[in-house]
Amino acid sequence: MIRILKSLALLLIVATAGLPALAQDAVFETPALNTGLGPVPDRIDRDTPRAAMASFLRAADDEDWSAAAHLLDLGELPPSRQAAEGPRLAHHLYDVIDRKAVLDWSALLNRPDALQIQGGDTEATAGDPRRSLLLRDLPLDVAPVEIRLNRLQPEGTDQPVWVFPVETVRHVPALHEMYGPSQFELALPEAMRTKTVGGLMRWEWIGLPVLIVAAVLLGWTVHRTLRLARRHAQGRIATGILAASSKPLIIASVTGLIWWVTSNVFVFSGRIDVFLAPAIATGFVTAALLFIVSSIEALLNGLVAPGEDVDLTLAKQAESRVLATRLNAARRVLVVVVFLIGAGVVLSSADLANNLGLSLLASAGAVTIVLGFAARNVLGNIMASLQIALNQSARVGDRVVYKGELCHVERINMTFVQLRNWDSTRLIVPVEEFASETFSNWTLQDPAMLRVLKLKLDPHADIDALRRVFDEVLDHVATLEIGQNLGDLDGSSVNVAEQDIFGIEVWFSIPCADPNSSWEVACAVREKLVARAAQMERDSGTPIFASAAAAGAA
C-alpha cells in the first residue's frame, strides 16, 4: 500500500512540474525585441493580453506614441530606425484599430498564458495556454490581414511579453492607407478631430447627420427621376421593368453614396462603423436581390401572365386562373430562395459576429432560434401561401364562401389573401388563417352549380302552379343578357323541403353555368318569381306567402 502511495505521489509531482513547462512552451521565441527603442516605460504592462491592449490604448489616448511603440514587434526594422518609425507605426495602428476593430475584452484574458478556463468541449482552446490571439480580420488587396497579439520571449529573458507581431506590423502602412483618416479629415482643424461624448470626434457628430440628409435627398431625386421616366416609357414590359427597378435603384444609390463617403471622405470610428458596415452590405445585397425578383416578376407578368384586362372570374378563364395561381407559387418560391441567399451573403460579407463583438451571434444554433422565433408568423404565412398556390385549393379568380361571405379570390399575397366581396369591398385575411379555415370553393372542379331559393310559403299555396310559374320565369330570364349564365334548365326543380307551424319551405333550384355570376342570376330569378307569386295571390285570393314567417325567407 505504501509503495502504491509513493508511486501516485511521484506521478503527481511529475505532472505538476510539467505544467509550468507547458505554459512556458506557449510562446514565440525571438532573438531580440525592439532594441532600438530603449527601456520600456513603467506605464507599459505587457504581461497579459488585456494589460498589453489597455496599455496601448492608454498611451494612445495620451498621444504617447513612443511608449505605445513598445507594444509593437519592430523586428523587421533596423534598430537605428526603430525609435523614429516605431511611434508613427503605433499611431497608424491605433487609427486602424479605433476605426475598424471592436475589441472583445472577454477574449483578452488577464492571464500571462491567456489560458481559457471556461468552454469545456465547446471551445477548442479551453484548458490550453495560448501564444497568439486574433483581434480582427481586415480585407486588404487579395487576402485579409490579421491583427493579432502574440506572446514573445526574447533570448536571455525569463518573462514573455504580449505585443503586436511583425506579421501585423508589416501591413500597418497599407491598412492605414485604406482605413485611416481621409485627406478631407486631415484637412480639418485639430479641434474638430478631438474626441468628445461617446468617444466620437466632433466632426463625426456633424458628418453623420449630413450624410443621412444627403442620402435621403439622393434617394428622393432617384425616385422622382424614375417616376418621370416611367411616365414617358412605352410598352408594357418597359413600364414594368422601370417600376420593378425603382426600389432597388433607390436602395443601391443611397447605399452607394454612404459606402463612397465612408470610404473616401468620412472614415468613421469603430463605434459607428460597427453599424455602418453591416448596413452597407445589407443595402447592396438587398438592392441586387430585390432587382432580380422584381425584374423576373415584371417579365412573367408581361410575357406569361393573363394580363390586367382579363377578368379571371369568368368561367372561360379557368386556364388563366390556374396560370395566375402558378405564377404566384413561382414568385413565392423565388422570394424564399432569394431571401435565403441574401441572408447568407449578408451574414458572410458583413461579418456580423466580429463587427458586433457578440459571441452569441457566432453560434449558428442561437441565430436560428432568434430568427425563427422573431419570424415565425411571417414564415408561417409564407408557407401557407405557398401551400395554397401549389395545391390549388383556392385560385386567383375563384368564387368562394369564407365565413359566410361570398367573395372572389382577388390576390394571394405572401402574407395575406385579398378577397373581393359582392359589393366590391375587400376582405383581407392572413394566409395562415385562411388555409386553416374551412371554406367553400364554388369554382373548383365542375364550375356548374345549383343556386337554391328558399321561400317560406303558406301551407295552402298551390305548388304545381308555382312550379309552372317558376319554369316560365326561367324561360324569360334565359332571353335576357344575364340568361347566358343559366345552365341546363332541365336541371331546375321545385321541392317542398321542410314544414313547421309557420308554413312550408319550398326550394326553387336554379341551374347556373358559372358560379361567379350565379348570385346575380339568383337575384334576377328571385325578383321575378316573387312578383309572379304575389300576382297569383292577388288574382286567386289564396294566400301564398306565410304571413308570420317573413324572417324565414332566404
Give the pLDDT mean for 164-175.
Answer: 90
SS3 145: strand
Looking at residue 6, its pLDDT comes to: 53
Give the pLDDT mean for 232-240.
Answer: 70
Spell out the alpha helix ranges (H) of 127-235.
166-169, 172-179, 183-186, 202-232
Looking at residue 305, its pLDDT comes to: 45
Which region, left, alpha or beta, applies to residue 17 given φ > 0 means left and ψ of -120 to 50 means alpha?
alpha
Confidence of residue 9 (pLDDT cuts 50, 70, 90): low
Q: Indicate whether 143 pLDDT > 70.
A: yes
Q: Indicate whether 283 pLDDT > 90.
A: no
Q: Indicate whether 455 pLDDT > 60.
A: yes
SS3 497: strand
pTM: 0.53
Domains, the chain, with CATH or none: 25-180 (no CATH), 214-401 (no CATH), 449-552 (3.30.70.100)
Looking at residue 271, its pLDDT comes to: 67
Question: Which is it for the CA torsion 25, 359, 137, 275, positive or negative?
Answer: negative
SS3 417: strand
Cell of 201: 470626434
Give the pLDDT mean for 480-493.
Answer: 85
Looking at residue 192, its pLDDT comes to: 75
Taking a C-beta distance cutoff of 8 angstroms, is the pair 194, 202 a contact? Answer: yes
Spell out the alpha helix ranges (H) of 437-545.
463-478, 518-540
Q: Which helix (H) or strand (E) holds 149?
A: strand 145-154
Looking at residue 361, its pLDDT comes to: 46
Looking at residue 447, its pLDDT comes to: 56
Q: Which helix (H) or strand (E) holds 405?
A: strand 405-412
pLDDT digits (tens, 9 = 90+) for 75-133: 888 888 998 899 999 999 998 888 777 777 888 888 887 776 655 444 545 557 888 88
Distance separating alpha carbons of residues 71 and 37, to the nearest angstrom: 11
Taking a C-beta distance cutoff of 8 angstroms, is the pair 153, 29 a contact? Answer: yes
Confidence of residue 528 (pLDDT cuts 50, 70, 90): very high
Looking at residue 444, its pLDDT comes to: 67
Residue 474: Cβ within 10 Å count: 20
Confidence of residue 527 (pLDDT cuts 50, 70, 90): very high
Give the pLDDT mean for 201-222.
Answer: 84
Looking at residue 346, its pLDDT comes to: 67
Looking at residue 375, its pLDDT comes to: 62
SS3 137: strand
Range among 148-162, 184-198, 233-247, 330-344 rated most confident: 148-162
For the residues of 23-55, what is the DSSP string, one character each? HHHSSEEES-S-TTS-SPPTT---SSHHHHHHH
The length of the chain, given as a count of residues: 554
Q: Which of 121, 134, 206, 196 has the alpha carbon at shortest distance from 168?
A: 134
Q: Pick 256 or 411 by higher pLDDT.
A: 256
Measured CA to CA in angstroms, residue 371 lies from 202, 285, 386 at distances of 37, 19, 20
Q: Indicate whether 387 pLDDT > 80.
A: no
Measured CA to CA in angstroms, residue 264 lies from 137, 270, 403 at distances of 21, 16, 60
Q: Indicate whether 428 pLDDT > 70.
A: yes
Give the pLDDT mean for 443-447.
Answer: 61
Distance separating alpha carbons of residues 153 and 133, to the nearest angstrom: 16
Is 121 exposed, middle or buried (CB count within 10 Å of its CB: 0-12, 13-18, 19+)?
exposed
Those residues with Cβ within 8 angstroms of residue 166's Cβ, 6 or more apart along the chain or in another chain: 73, 74, 75, 76
Taking a C-beta distance cutoff of 8 angstroms, is the pair 111, 48 a contact? Answer: yes
Cell of 124: 477548442
SS3 450: strand
Q: Pick 404 or 237 by higher pLDDT.
A: 404
Give the pLDDT mean for 259-276.
Answer: 74
Looking at residue 140, its pLDDT comes to: 80
Percent of the chain topping pLDDT 70: 75
Mean pLDDT, the chain, integer: 77
SS3 354: helix
Taking a C-beta distance cutoff of 8 angstroms, is the pair 394, 417 a contact? Answer: yes
Residue 97: Cβ within 10 Å count: 23
Looking at residue 260, its pLDDT comes to: 86
Cell of 288: 441586387
Confidence of residue 357 (pLDDT cuts 50, 70, 90): very low
Confidence of residue 236 (pLDDT cuts 50, 70, 90): low
Q: Which of 358, 352, 382, 211 has the alpha carbon at shortest distance from 282?
A: 352
pLDDT digits (tens, 9 = 90+) for 402-414: 888 888 887 777 7
Cell of 16: 505538476
Cell of 98: 479605433
Lowest mean pLDDT among 49-63, 65-79, 248-262, 302-316: 302-316
